[in-house]
Structure 1
Amino acid sequence: MNFCILIFCWKPPRVAEGTRPDGRGIIIIIIIIIIPDMRRSNFWCRSAHFQNGHSTGSRFYALPDMRRSDFLCRRRPISGAHTWAERHQKHGRRQELLFDLRDINPFGRPAETVRKYRGFLGKTGYLAAMQHRNILYFLIQGDVLPSPSDYKPSLLVLTANNWLLRLSASTGEVLEKVYLASHCKFRYLSWDVPQEVMVVKSAQQKLPAAARQVGIQRSVLFFLAVFRVLPLSFIGMLELDKKIFGNGMTDAMLSHNMLVVTHSAGLVRLYSFQAISEQFTECQVDLGQECSWNGKAGIVGKYPFGIPCNIKITDTPDLLFEVSSLENTFEIGGYPWHYIITPNKKKQKGIFHVCSLKDHTLAKNGIQDMECSSLEPDWISFHQDTSGRVLHVGPSLIKVLKLKESENNAEQQEITEDFVIEANRGDNVKNSVTVTAFGRVVKKRMTLLDDDPGQETFKIVDYEDELNLLSIVAVTQIGAYGAAHLDLHCNEYGTRLKSIPFAESWDVTYNHEVYFDRNVVVHIEEKPSRIFSCYVYHMTCSSSKEDEDVKKGKGERLFCEKMGKTFEVFL
C-alpha cells in the first residue's frame, strides 16, 4: 500500500482597521490518502483542475481499455452540446460513462461540499468521481487479478502440438502454458466475447481411410475449448456431434455467447452457449486442479492429461434462431437487432438483405446491391465500432450505412447512407485502337472491370478502435509491380486524414494481410511455396518540413541488401 499526505494551510482575510479581530489564526489541515499498489490492483486516478470556478472546457469519459485489465479515463474536447444520453443513443456505445465538468459546478462558484458520482461500468468495476475545492478526482476500481503477470500485455499462441501459451508481448517470456488434449488437433483461435472469452477450435475430425472403407463412421465433427482470458481460466470444452445437431452440420463457432452452427443446405442456427453450459456441464474444473476423467487422473492443463471434455450435450438444445442464407453468409448487429443474409439462391449472389431479428421483416431500403463487375465480390458487415452502422465494401466504393427509424412506420427501420468513400480513378471505359490488314483504323470501347489492376482498388478495410479511424488499403498496378498505400479516414465523417505509402511492391496475385494498431502498421505477404515476408512500420510525429518532403517525394534512396531493393527513406 502507498500513501500520500496533503497539507492545506488557510489564513483568514485581514480585518479592517478599527474593527476587533475574531481571534482566528492559521488553520492547518492534514489529509492522508491511502492508494493501493498499482502493481497489485487496478486503481487509477486522474484530476481535472477548475479555473475561476469553471471547468477547463473538457469532458472526461471512461471506457474499457482492451489492452489492460482496468478502466482508463480519457480526455476529449467538447464537441457540440450533446449530453451523454444523446451521445449514447447516437453512437450506440456500451459501457461508457461521461461526465460534463460544467454540470458539476453550474453556478460558477467554488464548490464547498464534496460530491461523488458513481457509474456502473460492466461486470468488472465502477468509476467514481469526487470534487473537492475546485479539483475533480476520478477513481476507477475493478477486480484484483491473482497474479502480477496478469497485468502484463501478452500474446496468446496456439502451437502445433496442442499447447496454448501466453507470452509476454515485450519480452516473449512464457507467462502461462496449458496443454489442451491428445485426442484431437486444435488449429484455430477466436474471440467469443472480445478481450474477455476466447475459443480454441479443433480441426475437423476425420477417420483414417481404412476405417472409412470398412464403413466405420465418426459423428463428432469438432471440439471447442472455451477460456476466460483475465485471468486465464478454463470454462469448458464441448464436442459437436452430428447425432445431436444433424447430419448436415458443416461448421460451428462461438460468438458473443452464442453457438452458431451452419449446415450444408445453407441453414444457420443459433443456440445459447450459457444455457448449454448450465444444462450439460458434468463437472466444473479449473486449470491446475486435480481431476479424474474417463478413468484417467491428472492435473487440468498439464501434460499429458490436458483439459477434460466436461460439457456433454446429450440432447438437442433449445433453438433460438434459424435462417437460410447462400453460402451460410450471416451477420448480426445494429440497434435494434438486425441481421444480414444473402437469399439462398445462386442468382442472388452479391445481393444482401437487412432484416429485423425480431420478426424477420425487411428494413426499408434493406436490399443492398452494389452491382459490381469484378473478380472479387463485394462484402458487407456490421461496423466494429458498435455504432450499429453497416459497412458495404466494393472494389472502388465503400458505403457506410446506418439504421434509423422510418418516418412512416415507427416499428420499421430504414437504411440510409452515412457517408461514401470512393477510389481515386477515372473513367472505366478504355478505348483500344487496332489497324486492319488493309490499313483501316478500328476503335473499340472496352469496359474495364471494377477491380482492374490498372485502377486504384480497395483491398482491405479495417477499424482501429483506440484511434477511432478507418484504415483502407488501396492498390494500383503500375507495370509489373503494384503500389499500395494505407489511408486513414475519420470514422465519423469519412474524411481522409493521412495516407501512408508502402515501401515494398504489392503483387495482387499474392495473399496479403495488413494490421493497423495505434502507431504500428504490419504488412504480411504470402508468396508461393508458403514463403512469408513481414514489413513493420512505426509512425512517429514529424515536422511540417518532413511532411512537405514526403508530399514532394524528396527523400534519400537507400539500398537494402537483404531484400535486394531500393527504398526511399524520409528522415
Structure 2
Amino acid sequence: MSVSVVHQLYSLQRETSCEKALRTSCSIARTIVLQPSMEFQPVWKRLSNKHVCIGLDRRMYFDNHQVAYYNDGIGGQPRMLYDFGAIRKDMKILAVILHHSHIQRASPSSEEREVCLLVLSADGYLRVFNANNGSLLRSVFLSTAVSYRYLQWADYLHTVQVKSIQFSRQLARQRGVANEYTSSRLLVVAVFKVHPLELVACLSVDRKIFGGDIQDASLNQDVLVVAHSTGYYRMYSLPWIIKHYSVVKATLGEWVELGGTRAGVMGETGFGVPLTLNITERPPLLFEVRSGSELGVSFGGSPTVYLHNPSPKDNSVFFLRSLQSGKLVAKFSTDTVAFHQDVVDFHHDDYLRIMHISGSTVSCYQLVEEGVVKLYTTDFRSLSKRKEIPLRTSSGRTIRRRVCAQDIDDLFVSAVQDVDYENELDLLHAVVTLPSRDGDGTEAWFCFLDDRTGEIIKKVSLPTWKTDASNSIYYELDCILHLVKDGGVSTCHYYRLTRTHSTLTAMPLKNTKFCIS
C-alpha cells in the first residue's frame, strides 16, 4: 500500500510532543505541497442522497454520518472506517462534532488518546464513538422533555454546547411541560468539557430574565452571548453565573438530590441532565455592543478587543473597542464591493491581524499602536485575464472599448468564496470563482497564498465546480475535498496530491523512508 509523505508527516505530528520535530515536519510538508511537480488530481468520488459531512482529521461522512472514510487507502483513495448500517428513526443523528486531544496533552485515559465522534441523536442522547472503528465509548442521556437539536463548539477542542430548539407555549403544552417557567423560556443550553466528557452546566435562557426581545443565545468560550432583535449583543460571564446560581452539582454518573431526596443519577436513562443553574435575575453585564451588519461581533487582539460594524447603513466602517473598558481603540474603513457580502474577521492564527474578503479581493490589516494599517490586497482577477484584441479603423485609429454587459457579469462571477489558514503549512488558502478565459462559463481555483504577503504561490484548478449548485471546499494537507449539493444528491469529489514528473526539487529528507503516492 502506498502512503504519501505528507500523510506520514502528519501522523508523526500527532504522535510526538517534540516542538522541534513538529516544526521540521511542517516545513517538509510545506515544501512537498508547493513542489511544481506535485499536483492535486481527482482520484475518487461518491454520491449520496443523504447528508454528507467533511470532518476534522481527514475524515468523510456519508448518509448522515452512518458511513465514514479516511484518507489513507490503497492507491491514494479513501478507506472505509465503519458503517453503522440502518439506524432507527428515533435514533436519527441530529448533529456531530469530531474532536481529539491536544498533541502536547497526555492522559492515562484511553478515551483521551482517541479521535472521537460526539453525536447528538433524536432519542435525547449524547454519545461518544471511536472515530476509527465506530465503537461506542460513552453515552449520556440528556432529556426527552427538552428537544435538543444543535451541537457546537463553545471553546474549540475544550468545551461544546448542546442547544435546544426555541421554546413556545404550544411546544411546551405538546411535551407536557407547560408551566410559568417554560412559558417565558427561549432555549436551554447544556455545556460539556470534552476528552473526557464532563458536564459543566445546564441553564435556561429566559425572556423574563434577559429581556422579551431576545432572539438567540450561545456560548463563546466563557461568555454567554445573548442576541436581541434591536441589533444589540449582550455578554455575560458564565463562570460568574455558575458560581452564583448553581442549584445542582454538575457531575455525570453521580446521584442528584432535589428537595433533600435522591432524584436520579446525572446523565442516566430516565433521569437525564436537569437544569443545574437557576438564574433568578439578570447577571452583571460584561458589556454590550450593537452591530449594524450581518457580520456580528468578532474577538481578537492582545489585550482583547472586539470588532463590530456600528452602522446598519454603512457596512464599510468598523470599530475596534477594548473588551475590558469598551473604549474605542481604532476604527478603519474597507473597500467594499456591493455585489457580494463582505466578510471581516480576525485572522485564524494571529489576533492582531484582520482579514477582509470583498468581491474578488482578500485584504489583510494589522492592528498597531497607532491604529489599523493595511498590509496587502490580493486581487484574484489576475488569474483569468482575457486577451483583449484592440479594434482599429481602416485608417489605423484605435476604437475605444465601451463597458459591455459581459464586463458587468464578470463582476458578479469574480468572487472569493472562502479563505482559511492551514497552520501546519503556515499558508492561507482561498477558493475563487472567475469568468473562464475563453469567455464561456465560470472556472474555480483553489489557491495557496503566502500568509505574510498575500502572494499567490500555487493554484489548483477545480473542474468539478458547478455554478448552479451548492459548492463546499475542504482542505487537509495532501487532499482537497469538493462537496457538490445539486438538488437532493450530494457528490464528494476527492483530489489527492500526486507526483506528475519523475524528479523532485532537492529537499531535506535524509534518513527518512517515505513513499510518494
TM-score by length of 2: 0.68
Match of 1:110 in 2: none
Once the two structures are TM-superposed, the CA of residue 290 in structure 1 deviates from its matched residue by: 3.0
Amino acid at match of 1:275: W
Q: Does 1:245 align with 2:210?
A: yes
Match of 1:526 in 2: 485
Aligned residues: 400
> 1:67 and 1:314, CA in 2 relative to 1: closer, same or farther beyond 3 A?
farther
RMSD (Å) for aligned C-alpha atoms: 3.8
Match of 2:443 in 1: 483
Structure 2 spans left out of the alignment, 5+ residues: 1-11, 25-100, 392-398, 506-516
The structure with the greater share of residues assigned to strand is: 1
Match of 2:309 in 1: 342
| Pairs within 5 Å for 1:61-80 | 71-75=17-21, 76=23
Per-residue displacement from partner, 1:231-287 (whole Å, max 9, x unpaired)? 111111111000000001111111121111110111111111111111111122322
Using CA pairs below 8 Å that are at least 6 residues apart, which structure has the higher relative contact order? 2
Once the two structures are TM-superposed, the CA of residue 404 in structure 1 deviates from its matched residue by: 0.8
Query: Any idea what SS the aligned residue of 1:208 has?
Result: helix
Query: Any idea what SS the aligned residue of 1:243 has?
Result: helix
Once the two structures are TM-superposed, the CA of residue 356 in structure 1 deviates from its matched residue by: 3.5
Q: For the Cα contact (< 8 Å) 2:192–2:200, is it kept in 1?
A: yes
TM-score by length of 1: 0.62
Distance 2:304 2:211 in 1: 28
> 1:474 and 1:390, CA in 2 relative to 1: closer, same or farther beyond 3 A?
same
Amino acid at match of 2:309: T
Q: 1:496 aligns with which of 430, 443, 456?
A: 456
Distance 2:192 2:112 in 1: 15
> 1:444 and 1:193, CA in 2 relative to 1: closer, same or farther beyond 3 A?
same
> 1:450 and 1:335, CA in 2 relative to 1: closer, same or farther beyond 3 A?
farther
Once the two structures are TM-superposed, the CA of residue 325 in structure 1 deviates from its matched residue by: 1.5
Distance 1:193 1:354 in 2: 22
Match of 2:140 in 1: 178
Query: Any idea what SS the aligned residue of 1:348 has?
Result: coil
Distance 2:217 2:447 in 1: 35
> 1:174 and 1:525, CA in 2 relative to 1: closer, same or farther beyond 3 A?
farther
Q: 2:475 aligns with which of 516, 527, 552?
A: 516
Once the two structures are TM-superposed, the CA of residue 344 in structure 1 deviates from its matched residue by: 3.7
Amino acid at match of 2:112: D
Deviates most, 220-229 or 518-527: 518-527
Once the two structures are TM-superposed, the CA of residue 333 in structure 1 deviates from its matched residue by: 1.0
Q: Does 1:144 align with 2:102?
A: no
| Pairs within 5 Å for 1:409-428 | 414-425=371-382
Query: Any idea what SS the aligned residue of 1:288 has?
Result: coil
Once the two structures are TM-superposed, the CA of residue 319 in structure 1 deviates from its matched residue by: 0.4
Match of 2:275 in 1: 309
Per-residue displacement from partner, 1:483-518 (whole Å, max 9, x unpaired)? 3221122223323333232241322x4333222233
Distance 1:314 1:66 in 2: 48
| Pairs within 5 Å for 1:12-27 | none
Once the two structures are TM-superposed, the CA of residue 453 in structure 1 deviates from its matched residue by: 5.0
Match of 1:382 in 2: 346
| Pairs within 5 Å for 1:442-453 | 445-446=403-404, 448-449=407-408, 452=411
Amino acid at match of 1:397: T
> 1:165 and 1:535, CA in 2 relative to 1: closer, same or farther beyond 3 A?
farther
Q: Which runs of 4+ in 1 moved over 6 A?
A: 65-68, 209-212, 214-217
Match of 2:465 in 1: 505
Distance 1:493 1:359 in 2: 33
> 1:321 and 1:210, CA in 2 relative to 1: closer, same or farther beyond 3 A?
closer
Distance 2:353 2:155 in 1: 19
Match of 2:369 in 1: 405
Query: Any idea what SS the aligned residue of 1:466 has?
Result: coil
Distance 1:172 1:215 in 2: 41
| Pairs within 5 Å for 1:56-95 | 71-75=17-21, 76=23
Q: For the Cα contact (< 8 Å) 2:248–2:256, is it kept in 1?
A: no
> 1:546 and 1:521, CA in 2 relative to 1: closer, same or farther beyond 3 A?
farther
Q: Does 1:368 align with 2:333?
A: yes
Match of 1:222 in 2: 187
Q: For the Cα contact (< 8 Å) 2:172–2:183, is it kept in 1?
A: no
> 1:211 and 1:151, CA in 2 relative to 1: closer, same or farther beyond 3 A?
closer
> 1:243 and 1:533, CA in 2 relative to 1: closer, same or farther beyond 3 A?
same
Distance 2:466 2:504 in 1: 24
Deviates most, 217-226 or 236-245: 217-226
> 1:141 and 1:484, CA in 2 relative to 1: closer, same or farther beyond 3 A?
closer
Q: 1:473 aligns with which of 406, 431, 439?
A: 431
Query: Any idea what SS the aligned residue of 2:244 has?
Result: helix
Amino acid at match of 1:340: L
Once the two structures are TM-superposed, the CA of residue 379 in structure 1 deviates from its matched residue by: 1.1
In percent, how many aligned pairs have the same letter? 27
Structure 1 spans left out of the alignment, 5+ residues: 1-64, 78-123, 126-139, 407-413, 434-440, 549-570
Query: Any idea what SS the aligned residue of 1:74 has?
Result: helix
Q: For the Cα contact (< 8 Å) 2:419–2:428, is it kept in 1?
A: yes
Amino acid at match of 1:402: Q
Query: Any idea what SS the aligned residue of 1:467 has?
Result: coil
Amino acid at match of 2:20: R
Once the two structures are TM-superposed, the CA of residue 300 in structure 1 deviates from its matched residue by: 2.3
> 1:305 and 1:416, CA in 2 relative to 1: closer, same or farther beyond 3 A?
same
Question: Which has the higher Rg, Structure 1 or Structure 2?
Answer: 1
Query: Any idea what SS the aligned residue of 2:269 has?
Result: coil
> 1:218 and 1:419, CA in 2 relative to 1: closer, same or farther beyond 3 A?
same
Per-residue displacement from partner, 1:337-393 (whole Å, max 9, x unpaired)? 222212243x223433333435544445x222323131x211100111034211111
Distance 1:319 1:210 in 2: 29
Q: Does 1:332 align with 2:299?
A: yes
Query: Any idea what SS the aligned residue of 2:338 has?
Result: coil
> 1:317 and 1:421, CA in 2 relative to 1: closer, same or farther beyond 3 A?
same
Once the two structures are TM-superposed, the CA of residue 547 in structure 1 deviates from its matched residue by: 8.8
Q: Does 1:353 align with 2:319?
A: yes
Distance 2:285 2:486 in 1: 44
Q: For the Cα contact (< 8 Å) 1:372–1:450, is it kept in 2?
A: no
Q: 2:130 aligns with which of 163, 168, 179?
A: 168
> 1:325 and 1:363, CA in 2 relative to 1: closer, same or farther beyond 3 A?
same
